Amino acid sequence: MQTGSVSASFIYPLIIAAGVLQAWGPPMNGALQKSLVNPWLASLLSFLPIIALLFCLFICMPKPLPTSQGIQNMPWWAPLGGLAGAGAVVAGLIFVNKIGAGAFAGLTISANLLMSVVIDKFGWFGAEVHALSPGRMLAAY
């Protein structure tokens, strides 16, 4: 899916909705872990619907497919982004019931904002470099 021609009036509400849904995840996963007891089983079960949804979307919309050159030029760490997300899911499973959804979200959002500014400043993971301006620092604060 290309977003170059999609207007901001369409993209921003989707991003806000994604943020709302992100807040739902940890308490839902916490309830799953409480019911299943084992955090690894709960994490696995939490990811199964995601895998099924993405598989169905791929079957319905298989284009574009990667080129062999694209695969060859892919950084070794690019497929590991899901592991970073899995770490957040497991942390939510284990800790949201101990500290509460608000504290968990506050800590993860703060860490996310600070790390995002560092990623932007240094262009890590192939991101475009963005200078650390006073406005960016204020926004992250």
pLDDT means per 10 residues, the chain with 141 residues, are: 68 88 89 93 93 96 95 94 89 91 91 91 93 86 77
CA distance linking residue 34 with residue 27, whole number of Å: 10
SS3 label, residue 128: coil
Q: Residue 3's pLDDT is what?
A: 52
Q: Residue 56's pLDDT is what?
A: 97
Is 0.85 surpassed by the pTM of this model? no
Question: Where exactly are the structural domains of the chain?
Answer: 8-98, 100-141
Q: Residue 68's pLDDT is what?
A: 96
Q: Residue 140's pLDDT is what?
A: 80
CA distance linking residue 118 with residue 112, whole number of Å: 10
